[in-house]
């Protein structure tokens, strides 16, 4: 009888210890260090190497598409039957189709409208160099293709007020035009936009001093090529160069330069299958201190989980700008409306003015560099899952800052993988800690490199011992005690 009681007590003690170990393993929150004395997280092959100097080319070749070769107005009738030309004659604007002059007067809006009225089934409008001052919305009809001659073909919307600048109906296109306005005083938010609908194309457009750039709403199959935006600003700092929202699908953006603006590219509200690549951003910031975020390369949802899906940003250089963000749009990021399947590849940030916010499902950041940051590099947010940071390099990780971190209030963070990355620690950082992760489930580090003061050493951290081996060792430790108890009976 006593033998059974003693065996029962041993089993209870072992079960209690096993439960305690599981509780501690499950609930641990930890700060990682490159010190070999911290065995909490499996980190493999961490090496100290000599710090490098970085230099980056500030130029981009977008391989612009050939501009439309416009025929001089005097010869237009002979070669462009079925198309319409608009050109200036002294102070007048002339509209010509074949041998017929359709309009010759001083109102540029009327000239454009008459040209479109004569292309009811679609066609080509060639606008010659000059400034066309417009105070009404231009509505490009279906399958109308409006071409300019480049930056000297100017659509001036300084007097457009709160109306959209251009609405592009299905199948239309806009190319080789400069679109300009006024930001003194600052325009009202969400006004003066270029609004493309389905199956539209925008190519080689320069947008300057407008209250908004290009705004897609419920638009499918849109191509945007070789876009330049400067001084896109509004009263509340909500002006985007390109905003894709309200269930827009299948959008390709290739070649963009965005400078001195409130926001650059914002993808939101159920938008899916969007690629933006080959771009340069500079001075994307909150100009008027409204407190609103200065989105640079942003994707966020307002709806159900995964509302924004399959978003790609590639080959973008950012300078003096807000860092990229993929996140939920709910208050304090506690809603589960996370974007899904987001890729950032070959992104270079120089002097970022914020941390890179990561809040989504299946988010990958790879082959990227962060230069001269005074912030945390990456911040994980609520319910982020399946996050991969692969081949990312940063310099100047300063005192009190982290390569990857999350706030104590952010929970539900799972499956984080940080691999093949290089972290340069600034001399002012008093410790070697680069990770601060609280309550993260399933964290992996492999082949990361740490740089500090040019010291080269192997600082591999042993993996956390396997739980099954711990239980086995504890069980073995009870064997002598069990034999002693049985011997006493």
The per-residue pLDDT for range 432-480, each reduced to its tens digit, is 889 898 889 999 888 888 887 766 433 333 333 333 444 444 444 554 4
Position 282 pLDDT exceeds 60: yes
Instruction: Quote the CA–CA distance of 50 and 406 in Å, as a whole number.
Output: 29
| Alpha-helix runs per DSSP H in 41-101 | 76-79
Mean pLDDT on 156-171: 97
Mean pLDDT on 366-371: 98
Q: From the centroid of its chain, how far is CA 95?
A: 43
Q: Which among 66-80, 288-302, 323-337, 338-352 has the top mean pLDDT?
A: 338-352
Mean pLDDT on 118-146: 95
Position 20 pLDDT exceeds 90: no
Q: What is the reported pLDDT for 382?
A: 86
Position 394 pLDDT exceeds 90: yes
Position 307 pLDDT exceeds 90: no
Q: Which residue has the tokens 């090496």?
A: 47
Q: How confident is the model at residue 286 (pLDDT cuts 50, 70, 90)?
A: confident
Higher pLDDT, 381 or 133: 133
Which of the residue ranges 27-41, 132-146, 312-326, 454-468 would you say has the lowest mean pLDDT? Answer: 27-41
Mean pLDDT on 337-354: 94
Q: What is the reported pLDDT for 209?
A: 97
The per-residue pLDDT for range 253-275, each reduced to its tens digit, is 999 999 999 999 999 988 999 99
Q: What is the reported pLDDT for 81?
A: 55
| Cβ 408 vs Cβ 379: under 8 Å | no
Q: What is the reported pLDDT for 281?
A: 98
Higher pLDDT, 53 or 110: 110
Q: How far is CA 375 from CA 140, 323, 378, 451, in A?
A: 45, 10, 9, 18
Mean pLDDT on 20-40: 36
Q: What is the reported pLDDT for 274?
A: 98
Instruction: Quote the CA–CA distance of 138 and 16 in Å, as a whole number.
Output: 76
Q: Which among 55-69, 335-349, 387-401, 471-485 has the top mean pLDDT?
A: 387-401
Q: Does residue 68 sit in helix, strand or coil?
A: coil
Per DSSP, the residues of 402-454 read -SEEE-TT----EEEEEES-EEEEPTT--S---EEESS-EEEEEES-EEE-TT
Q: What is the reported pLDDT for 466?
A: 36
Instruction: Quote the CA–CA distance of 276 and 430 in Å, as a whole number.
Output: 39
Position 188 pLDDT exceeds 90: yes
Q: What is the mean pLDDT of the chain?
A: 80
Q: Which residues contact 462 (CB under 8 A, 6 or more apart)?
A: 36, 39
Domains in the chain: ranges and CATH: 128-401 (2.160.20.10)
Q: How confident is the model at residue 431 (pLDDT cuts 50, 70, 90)?
A: confident
Percentage of the chain modeled with pLDDT above 90: 59
Q: Which residue has the tokens 């910031």?
A: 285
Percentage of the chain modeled with pLDDT above 70: 73
Position 55 pLDDT exceeds 50: no
Mean pLDDT on 40-49: 28
Q: What is the reported pLDDT for 32?
A: 38
């Amino acid at each position: 009888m006593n033998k059974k009681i003693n065996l029962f007590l041993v089993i209870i003690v072992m079960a209690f210890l096993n439960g305690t170990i599981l509780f501690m393993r499950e609930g641990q929150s930890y700060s990682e260090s490159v010190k070999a004395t911290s065995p909490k997280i499996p980190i493999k092959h961490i090496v100290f190497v000599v710090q490098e100097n970085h230099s980056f080319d500030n130029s981009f070749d977008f391989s612009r598409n050939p501009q439309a070769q416009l025929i001089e107005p005097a010869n237009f009738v002979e070669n462009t039957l079925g198309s319409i030309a608009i050109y200036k004659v002294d102070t007048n604007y002339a509209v010509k189709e074949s041998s017929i002059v359709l309009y010759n007067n001083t109102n540029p809006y009327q000239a454009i409208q008459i040209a479109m009225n004569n292309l009811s089934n679609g066609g080509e409008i060639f606008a010659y160099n000059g400034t066309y001052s417009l105070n009404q919305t231009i509505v490009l009809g279906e399958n109308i293709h409006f071409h300019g001659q480049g930056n000297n073909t100017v659509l001036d919307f300084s007097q457009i007020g709160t109306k959209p600048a251009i609405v592009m109906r299905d199948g239309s296109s806009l190319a080789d035009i400069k679109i300009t306005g006024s930001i003194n005083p600052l325009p009202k938010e969400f006004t003066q936009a270029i609004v493309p609908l389905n199956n539209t194309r925008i190519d080689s457009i320069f947008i300057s001093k407008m209250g908004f750039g290009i705004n897609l709403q419920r638009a499918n199959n849109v191509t945007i090529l070789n876009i330049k935006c400067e001084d896109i600003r509004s009263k509340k700092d909500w002006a985007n160069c390109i905003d894709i929202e309200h269930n827009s699908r299948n959008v390709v953006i290739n070649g963009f330069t965005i400078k001195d603006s409130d926001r650059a590219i914002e993808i939101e509200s159920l938008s899916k299958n969007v690629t933006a690549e080959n771009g340069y951003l500079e001075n994307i910031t909150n100009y008027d201190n409204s407190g609103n975020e200065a989105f640079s390369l942003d994707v966020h949802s307002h709806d159900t989980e995964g509302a924004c899906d399959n978003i790609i940003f590639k080959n973008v250089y950012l300078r003096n700008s807000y860092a990229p963000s993929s996140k939920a749009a709910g208050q304090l990021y506690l809603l589960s409306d996370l974007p899904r399947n987001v890729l950032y590849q070959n992104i270079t940030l120089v002097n970022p003015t914020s941390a890179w916010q990561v809040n989504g499902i299946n988010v990958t950041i790879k082959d990227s560099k962060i230069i001269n940051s005074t912030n945390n590099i990456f911040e994980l947010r609520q319910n982020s899952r399946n996050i991969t940071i692969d081949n990312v390099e940063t310099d100047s990780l300063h005192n009190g800052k982290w390569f990857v971190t999350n706030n104590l209030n952010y929970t539900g963070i799972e499956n984080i993988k940080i691999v093949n990355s290089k972290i340069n620690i600034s001399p002012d950082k008093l410790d070697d800690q680069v990770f601060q992760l609280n309550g993260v489930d399933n964290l992996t580090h492999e082949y990361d490199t740490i740089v500090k003061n040019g010291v080269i050493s192997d600082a591999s951290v042993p993996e956390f011992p396997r739980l099954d081996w711990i239980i086995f060792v504890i069980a073995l430790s009870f064997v002598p005690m069990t034999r002693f108890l049985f011997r006493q009976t």
